[in-house]
Structure 1
Amino acid sequence: MALVRWSPARELMNIQEEMNRLINRFFGPSLLEETELPTPTTWYPLVDIKETNNEFIVTAELPGMKKDDIHITYKDGVLTIEGERKQEKEEKDVNFHRVERRYGKFYRTFQLPAMVQEDKIEANYKDGILTIRLPKAEEAKAKEIEVKVS
């Protein structure tokens, strides 16, 4: 596994994102909001990042989105996933009893611990799950070294 330079700013951003997610999850819609039309709210898709010897695999939950509403960029070791989950349609003369689904724009960035082959990054979106495969650059792959005992 490669060494990664520690960035206090990145750590603070990660803490802020997690706190926002926890606050939104804990408080959710208030009793007053339950009879109002849904409004765009900040939300964050849940993401898993796995590492193998040859690649990083990023999986994000993006239910109810169209692939054209998802944008992925990679630059200088930073993967960015952004997009917008749009509300189906506005309904008139309807009183909601509960509004739990979130809509609106999101923006997530992740610092990967090793460089990747940018020209070989692949993304697939199926059944609400985004999977991004980022092959490691040759110099980032783990190498086994045989130790000879004399």
Structure 2
Amino acid sequence: MSTSLSKWAPWNWLRKEQDGRALPVRRGSKDVSPLWRVHDEIDRVFDDFFRGFGLPSLFTDDWPRAGDGAMLQPRLDITETKNAYEISVEVPGVEQDDLELSVQDGVLIIRGEKRQEKREDGERYHRIERSYGAFQRELNLPADADADRIEANVRGGVVRIKVPRRADVASGARRIAISNA
């Protein structure tokens, strides 16, 4: 086998994110009404209750619910071809100017912020379900990723990142000769 099995393990891509750092999440302004705060708290209590029994969350939004130190975490897909890795990140409602991609020490960092629309004087919200705030995803690049040639574009609320693969990277596997003793 020409490649190492650990390179393909899905958790290797996301191991940098597992250190627990969270960015703040805002779901509209909390001055909407005291009733909204009660509604939000009841939702959280029921969600925690059902999760305690191993049942799925009642909330299946693409953006996590506010509170509990939650972090906006856009969903992503990672695929590979013979020549490249392709990463698609959902960022609906995020402007291109509010996105930033960088590579540092073999980690692809995707940062952005989903901003709340400007509020007009006299407007009263009746319900706010969308989340706002900063997000950051950190993906550990495999050994054969060519970080110097990464390309990205955004269209329709999806950032598409192409990470070319280098052919010159040794697999790390070697054959061991067996001798007669």
Same fold (TM over 0.5): yes
What is the aligned partner in structure 2 of residue 32 from structure 1? Answer: 36
Q: Structure 2 regions of 5+ residues with no counterpart?
A: 22-33, 40-65, 172-181
1:14 to 3, 7, 18: 18
Is this contact kept in 2: 1:4–1:114, CA < 8 A? no
Question: SS at 1:44's partner residue?
Answer: coil
- 1:76 positional shift: 2.7
Question: SS at 1:119's partner residue?
Answer: helix
Shift in alpha-carbon separation, 1:141–1:85, aligned structure 2, 3 A: farther
Larger-Rg structure:
2
What is the alpha-carbon distance in structure 2 between the residues aligned to residue 112 and residue 92 of structure 1? 47
What is the alpha-carbon distance in structure 1 between the residues aligned to residue 118 and residue 82 of structure 2? 45
Matched, 1:86 2:115: yes
| Identity across matched positions, percent | 34
Question: SS at 1:33's partner residue?
Answer: helix
1:121 to 150, 153, 166: 150
Amino acid at match of 1:59: S
Question: If the length of structure 1 is used for normalisation, what is the TM-score?
Answer: 0.67
Shift in alpha-carbon separation, 1:54–1:141, aligned structure 2, 3 A: farther
Aligned length: 128
After TM superposition, the structure 1 = structure 2 runs for residues 64-103 of structure 1, keeping only pairs within 5 Å, are: 64-103=93-132
Question: If the length of structure 2 is used for normalisation, what is the TM-score?
Answer: 0.57
- 1:69 positional shift: 0.7
Aligned CA RMSD, in angstroms, stands at 3.8
Any idea what the Cα deviations from partners look like across 1:14-72, whole Å, max 9, x if unmatched? 3858xxxxxxxxxxxx952389xxx9x74111111112221111100001111111000
